Amino acid sequence: MKSSPKTFAVKSFGCQMNVYDGDRMAELMAAQGLTPADAADADLVVLNTCHIREKATEKVYSDIGRIRKDAGKQGRAPMIAIAGCVAQAEGAEIVRRAKVDVVVGPQAYHNLPDLVAKAARGEAALDTDMPVETKFGHLPARRRVPPSAFLTVQEGCDKFCTYCVVPYTRGAEVSRPWGAIVDEAQALVDAGAREITLLGQNVNAWTGTDARGRDGGLDALIRELDTVLGLARIRYTTSHPNDMTQKLIDAHADVEKLMPFLHLPVQAGSDRILKAMNRSHSRDSYLRILDRVRAARPDIALSGDFIVGFPGETDADFAETLSLVDAVGYAQAFSFKYSPRPGTPAAGMDDQIAPEVMDDRLQRLQAALNRDQSAFNAGVVGRTCDVLIERKGKLPGQMLGKSPWLQSVHLITDAGVGDMVEVDIVRADPNSLAGMERVKIAA
């Protein structure tokens, strides 16, 4: 039995939806009167976990061990709560293997305070339900948020790509109601947000009904958010190619606040592999979507996700991934070695690929992606753009922010966090752009 915690820390791993959930859990615990602390000193440590690849999952167990060991040296035994996708996938197993105090799934974390109270009484505290009534209605209002804020509008996935755990850990596709999203967007802006990134595992599958009873998709929601005063930028992620409607593409042409950036994972360039992955788009249908996106917004920055070494992937299949990369010219991308996940169809497929083959393919893919990212960044040098200032830089007077194309920009300026500054991009460094603030000439 442990006494009720007075301080807490939340550590999030994985995707942006987990970052959003982690922030909401922190707000929830703060509303209960607990004080935020460093993970090294907190009475309650919430690990908000990711199950997407084996490494991510194993990290949870090593983290639990480290937290206990470090606290043990100070004679403390903090309460440990496991939240997120590993909690959902392996709840009872974690309790058995690591003897944690609380396990709470991604759809149940509004119950975290109750679970913590139960654990403090020495009772079992595990909740991995996926209730019909959503967690969102039970979360406290936002008080203060950074200039760039996340807003989850959609959760879950019905796509069942054969390698992926998300449909099992996050459940079926659900859209949050229109009104709740608009209200939260307004609350975020009132609390200091200038940019909102709409989040969903399949964000472009979002649908809703507006106040006048009209049904609409993500494009309609974006057009409504375009009218929110004080909101300067809208982004959304992650999209699935099959839900990339022409209406959403059109929004990129004429909604000024919608930033010229699209993260559209493709995973592989070979139709045979895409089919085995159950991606339900082909190489060609994917490339045709990007043609339409570029027609709507010629300067758009494209981003993607890739998996190398899916079972059965041959050298010829992989060559098609490289040629797709050449054809697209991504501004940035994420690439991973295939990781077999328990319970997914691909984990049982023949022809699993040897680790050294995966290593080699990943290196070659990343070299191509880095080359294109550098070229994209170099292409922005000489342009003038708005930069949303997000935080202080390392040098005196230096501030860091983001370009419309989601690149990090550093500049010397008097502007503060949350300001939008007009900047000439003067140089592309390996991980960021150097900018110079435009001098405003008084009228």
3-state SS, residue 419: coil
Q: Is 385 annotated as a binding residue?
A: no
Q: Does 166 bind ligand SAH (CB under 6 A)?
A: yes
State the Cα–Cα distance between residues 187 and 35, nearest whole angstrom. 23
Residue from the set 18, 107, 267, 373 that interacts with ligand SAH by CB under 6 A: 267
∠ CA 167-173-177, nearest 5°, is 150
Least gap, CB of 240 to ligand SF4 (angstroms):
5
Least gap, CB of 26 to ligand SAH (angstroms):
23
Least gap, CB of 309 to ligand F3S (angstroms):
19
Interaction partner, residue 167 (ligand SF4, ligand F3S, ligand SAH, none; CB < 5-8 Å by kind):
ligand SF4
Q: Is 157 annotated as a binding residue?
A: yes
Q: Is 161 annotated as a binding residue?
A: yes
Sign of CA pseudo-dihedral 124, 126, 132, 133: positive
Q: Residue 50 or residue 166: which is nearer to ligand SF4 going by CB?
A: 166
∠ CA 308-312-314, nearest 5°, is 70
* Distance (Å) of CA 73 to CA 60, 70, 76, 78, 82: 20, 5, 7, 12, 22
Residue found by looking up tokens 């500049």 in the block: 411
Q: Does 164 bind ligand SF4 (CB under 6 A)?
A: yes
Q: Is 85 annotated as a binding residue?
A: yes
Site string for ligand SF4, 232-271 (x = CB under 6 A): --------x-------------------------------
Q: Residue 88 or residue 267: which is nearer to ligand SAH going by CB?
A: 267
Six-digit token string for 376: 């994209």
CA R_g for the chain? 23
Stretch that binds ligand SAH, among 58-66, 227-235, 282-290, 337-345 (CB under 6 A): 337-345
Six-digit token string for 72: 């043990």
**φ, ψ for residue 50, nearest 5 deg:** -125, 140
Site string for ligand SAH, 43-62 (x = CB under 6 A): ---------xx---------
Q: Does 281 bind ligand SF4 (CB under 6 A)?
A: no
State the Cα–Cα distance between residues 163 and 338, nearest whole angstrom. 8
Helix (H) or strand (E) holding 189: helix 178-190
Least gap, CB of 274 to ligand SF4 (angstroms):
11
Pairing mode of beta strands 301-308, 332-337:
parallel
Nearest residue to 228 (alpha-carbon basis) of 181, 176, 175: 181
Least gap, CB of 95 to ligand SF4 (angstroms):
26
Six-digit token string for 59: 């990290």
Q: Residue 5 or residue 265: which is nearer to ligand SAH going by CB?
A: 265
Q: Residue 164 or residue 385: which is nearer to ligand F3S going by CB?
A: 164
Interaction partner, residue 418 (ligand SF4, ligand F3S, ligand SAH, none; CB < 5-8 Å by kind):
none
Nearest residue to 305 (alpha-carbon basis) of 258, 260, 341, 269: 269
State the Cα–Cα distance between residues 201 and 153, nearest whole angstrom. 10
Q: Which ranges constitute the DSSP H helices of 277-388? A: 283-296, 315-328, 355-380
Residue number closest to ligand F3S, CB atom: 14
Least gap, CB of 164 to ligand F3S (angstroms):
9
State the Cα–Cα distance between residues 117 and 34, nearest whole angstrom. 12
Site string for ligand SAH, 186-225 (x = CB under 6 A): ---------------xx-----------------------
CB-based contacts of 177-182 (< 8 A; 24+ apart in sequence): 177/208, 177/209, 178/208, 178/209, 178/210, 178/211, 178/216, 178/221, 178/224, 179/211, 180/136, 180/137, 181/151, 181/153, 181/208, 181/221, 182/224, 182/225, 182/228
Interaction partner, residue 307 (ligand SAH, ligand SF4, ligand F3S, none; CB < 5-8 Å by kind):
ligand SAH
Stretch that binds ligand SF4, among 139-147, 156-164, 365-373, 424-432 (CB under 6 A): 156-164
Q: Is 50 annotated as a binding residue?
A: yes
Q: Is 15 annotated as a binding residue?
A: yes
Residue 366: burial class (beta carbons within 10 Å; 0-12, 13-18, 19+):
middle
Residue from the set 160, 288, 348, 392 that interacts with ligand SF4 by CB under 6 A: 160
Least gap, CB of 196 to ligand SAH (angstroms):
19
Q: Which residues are annotated as a binding site for [4Fe-4S] cluster?
A: 15, 50, 85, 157, 161, 164
Please give the residue ranges that form the binding site for ligand SF4 (CB under 6 A).
157, 159-161, 164, 166-167, 201-202, 240
Please give the residue ranges that form the binding site for ligand SAH (CB under 6 A).
52-53, 163-164, 166, 201-202, 238, 240, 265, 267, 305, 307, 336, 338-339, 341
Q: Which residues are annotated as a binding site?
A: 15, 50, 85, 157, 161, 164
